[in-house]
Chain A
Amino acid sequence: MIHDESFGSPERRRTLTVVVLLMFVLLMLRLYQLQLLFHVELDKKSEENSVRALTKDPVRGYMYDRYGRLLVDVGPSYSVTLVPAEFEKQSTGLLSSILQMEPKVLEDRIARARTYSPFLPARMKRDVDMKTLAAIEEHLPVLTGVSYQVESKRIYPTLARASHLLGYRREISDAQLSTASDYYRPGDLVGVAGLEAHYESSLRGQRGFEYVSVNSKGQIIGSFEDGRRDKIAKEGFDLLLSIDGGLQAFAESLMTNYSGALVAMDPSDGGILAFVSKPDYDPSIMSGVTPADLWAELQSNSEKPLFNRASLTRYPPGSAFKMVLAAAALQEGIIDENYRINCSGGFRFGNRTFTDLHVHGSVNVVEAIQRSCNVFFYQLMLKVGFDKWNEYGRRFGFGQATNTDTGEETTGLLPSAEYYDSRYGKGKWTQGFLISLAIGQGEVGVSPLQMARYAAALANGGIVYRPHAVEFIRNKETNKVDPVRHDSTLVGLSPHVMGLIREGMQRVVQAPGGTGGMARIHGVISAGKTGTAQNPHGKDHAWYIGFAPFDNPKIAVAVLLENSGFGGAKAAPIAGLVTERYLYGQLIRNVPKAAPAKKGAPKTITQVVQ
């Protein structure tokens, strides 16, 4: 007999029953938690487990010029793919030599693809040429698992390059992946410059998916739910540009031998007609995947072909800025058209003498613009004062971003009293600093794009538009063409003041003694202003801004030629040719051969002697 009293006692029986019931409760609670509380989340995980999405890349949107000509097309591009599980490791050497990739790089790609799924084709190299494809085809028996797929790349069917305007795409970086929308995946091409970047979300379309069921090894075992959940790729939207493709190509040819920029704009809405930055590059080398060596060369090239001079350079505008001061003085009632000063060819301020290259005699504001009289503006600056000058500069859009859609830009620099205070210290700078600003020299910095907008505002009577290259977006889903809204601000000059300034600018081109006579066009009255940006590092930079026809402006142009000396000599003729080509649809004079930039051209400049 068992002696222990508690053997099989009712109390111990109860305890064991309770233990069993507690176990039941514990397991049921956990079951409830997993299957009812966490169900949605775990169900999603289970689906991710067993369903893979094969992506179908959409066709990227096209770009058309203002006359409906195709500027940016889409064509086939061949990507070499590889199924990691089917690929024989010993063929790595052969494949890497065919693809001209480092074996290490190829191995890394294969390894990365394997972690996603060893049984799905993964892209090894984008945009291979026909020769590579032929070599792949030839070695296909040994290159098991290797195949290729057709994707799309950019094609540029016209003579216009517009490299900096159109921009390009590159494989998305890890940094972008972490900040960009969920849409992107590693290996995606994404617009990183120009219109390709700014309109990325419109252009790219929507990727499609084909869902397949896979087993735990990643092998495809069939379509998922008979393809009911598949999504067809949606085409990207087309961009309808304000660009005139012919004008663009022509402007590029005129700028071929220069380093600089040209921006032509429709003064009636701020639409960009031509956008040139030189030197540039052939955009088609960026259309698929840019070979690393070519990319490195573009980046290290001392001429900086990737640099967008049209909106990223910041040079003093020189005399082309004088209209800002004139506008401030006239609009504020500080002077009128009868105010005259006598230009003796120099101006003493304190112990410094600021000179003019010419002795202009008695000039009023119109004549001062026409003949670009420095002495007139030196004195005017002292009357107008720093703050008013700055205010009018701002009204014309300087010292701030234009919010263009064409890509990266500089805000430029429009100095103010606060700026000088913080830069030099309160009271450490003198009125003498202003003298340089009066004629657009010194610390004032502007971009060609800002200058084109300024020219357009002078042309249209004072409306500062947001510069833009895209007028409409064609929505491929609704098949509607939607206008892109572009805002504008007003400079706020009276018609009388505007008339005086425009008169001066008209005389710059049309009148004898004007500095921009080289911009003259047959049968059309043009207006403009030359400028020369002092360059402490070398030859001065030449500016020209202008618009035409004078009475009903259709085009405003800004030209910047780096290290090219006096603005009237080289920049004005280019602006004239572009204007003529646009207004007449062709050149009505004999086409000049694009003159090579001569070295050591004579210095004919308004100079500041210090």
Chain B
Amino acid sequence: MLEYLKEYFDYRALLICLGLVVVGLLSVYSATYDVGAAAAFDKQLVWAGIGLVALVVAAIFPLKALQRISLPLYIVMLGVLLVILVIGHTVAGSKSWIGVARGFGGQPSEFAKVTTVLALAAFLARTAISLSNPKHLILAIGIVALPMGLVLAEPDLGTSVVFFLMLLPVLYWAGASNFVLAAILAPLIAAAGALFGTLVFLVSLVISGALLYAARQNRFAAAVAFALTLAIGLSVQAVYERLPAYQQKRISTYMNPASDQKGAGYNVYQSKVAIGSGGFFGKGYLQGTQTQLNFIPEQWTDFIFCVLGEEFGFVGASIVIGLFTGLLLHGVNVAGVSKNKFASVASIGITGIFGVHVLINVGMSMGLLPVIGIPLPFLSYGGSALVANMAMVGLLMNFYSNRKEH
């Protein structure tokens, strides 16, 4: 019996997920302790329950059927994204919320990540699809670019970044050549460099060029890719000018956070102070002054890691980072052992989504990365994300138990 469980039941993913959900509930409770903790905590608890159901459904869903409904699901989701672009109401400067029920909100873009990964995996798993075929490659990119564009138009920069970055490990895993990856990465580097002024832009162009040159298969393709990189870099500068002020402010603050501790850099500064003041053992649960006195805006959503860092200290925060790392390694492992190509690619996609969220969210909380508003999986307050993330863990568990099927 135990052997059978070990063989087919992915208890690792489940335990890590449940551990993170519990820590998340504790953190949300603390973060909202004096601003309606009971209400926020209760809501999140309900969402966790729904998430558990989603997890179970995803874990036991027949693999073949899942593969078959991936594309229809994807198209439905695109439609939803399109609808909220038109009628959705604005929350925190973005239109991504739609009312699902009174007191609850749904964020379709969270689910769009899952459906996009599944659709991409289903596409790449098809016979006769090869990433060395440029047509196929463009189609694959297009599958991600469509929802990404809709999310970006909301505008939700953070989530669209996740879409883009998730694509890289998936293509890599699916066998894209180094040149393809370089050709995708190069514009990204140039685009990022474009935000930091001319000098950095030039350096980023040199790096992009070197990358393309090293991975080149023929000179013509490399030259085209570089021209594209240049064009994208230049247009990013132009787009930056037109970004909403709050996005611009976040980017410029990242470049020099110390300049504006009371203004745009406030979050990062307070967040670093919260985490740093936690020390080795933390200030104790519900004892964090930064948290309890509400020094960090949105500490229950994007900045939940501060609560952790301040109240549970180095010990607590490193356990959480360790759990996430365990989950990511497990995801790579599941992808590696899956005989089913769809399951294998989807595993990497799910792992990529988790990885990008963790890196960006924890990185920005500790002042390493720009403040891009994306939640920390399982911990941040927010129902849709929790349900979607738990569903993805369920998918991993599904893939694990079916790993030996073709």
Which residues of A does B touch, CB under 8 Å?
1-10, 12-13, 15-17, 19-21, 23-24, 26-28, 30-32, 34-36, 38-39, 41-43, 45-47, 49-51, 213-217, 221
Contacts and interface: CB of A to CB of B under 8 A. Distances in A.
A69 B260 CA distance: 57
Secondary structure class of chain A's binding surface, majority of residues: helix
Interface in B265-303: 270, 272-280, 289-290, 293-295
26 contacts: A2-B124, A2-B130, A2-B175, A2-B341, A4-B174, A4-B175, A6-B177, A8-B173, A8-B336, A12-B172, A23-B358, A27-B366, A30-B363, A31-B366, A34-B272, A34-B366, A35-B309, A36-B314, A39-B277, A42-B277, A45-B276, A46-B273, A46-B274, A50-B290, A50-B295, A213-B289
Interface stretch (B44-52, B56-64, B324-332): B324-332
A306 to B, nearest CB: 42
A35 B278 contact: yes
Secondary structure class of chain B's binding surface, majority of residues: helix
B276 A38 contact: yes
A572 to B, nearest CB: 69
Contacts, number: 149
Nearest to A48: B273
Interface string B190-216: 000000000000000000000000000
Of the listed residues A2, A4, A19, A221, the one surrounded by the most CB atoms of chain B closer than 10 A to its CB is A2
A28 B130 contact: no
B120 to A, nearest CB: 13
B277 A43 contact: yes
B238 interface: no
A214 B293 CA distance: 7
B317 interface: yes
Contacts of B336: 8, 10, 13
Contacts of B358: 23, 27
A31 B325 contact: no
Interface in B354-400: 355, 358-359, 362-363, 366, 368
Interface string B124-148: 1101111110000000000000000
Interface residues of B, number: 55
Contacts of B130: 2-4
B88 interface: no
B265 to A, nearest CB: 14
Nearest to A37: B276
A493 to B, nearest CB: 68
A42 B283 CA distance: 13
Nearest to A32: B314
A131 to B, nearest CB: 40
A23 to B, nearest CB: 5
A33 to B, nearest CB: 8
Contacts of A35: 275-276, 278-280, 309, 313-314, 317
Contact of A34 (B275, B321, B351): B275
A23 B359 contact: yes
A31 B309 contact: yes
A27 B175 contact: no
A401 B274 CA distance: 55
B318 interface: yes
B279 A31 contact: no
A220 to B, nearest CB: 11
Given A27-B366, A34-B309, A47-B277, 4 more contacts: A2-B129, A4-B174, A32-B314, A35-B275
